[in-house]
Amino acid sequence: MELWDEESRRKYGLPYSEELPLEYRKEIKGKIPMVLSEAEPTAYGEE
């Protein structure tokens, strides 16, 4: 997620990846939780 990467680079100088220590990843995810939302269905492909 882009926000996690930005925070990781700002705070630790490293990209958010599997190489980032687990405690750092947990801290970032705690500060910036992933929020999913659903979009309303569309009439894709209908004319």
Interval 19-45: pLDDT, tens: 999 999 999 999 999 877 787 877 766
The packing angle between helices 2-12 and 22-31, to 10°, is: 120
Residues 22, 6: contact at Cβ < 8 Å?
no
Q: What is the pLDDT of residue 26?
A: 96
Report yes or no on whether pTM surpasses 0.85.
no
Q: What is the pLDDT of residue 23?
A: 97
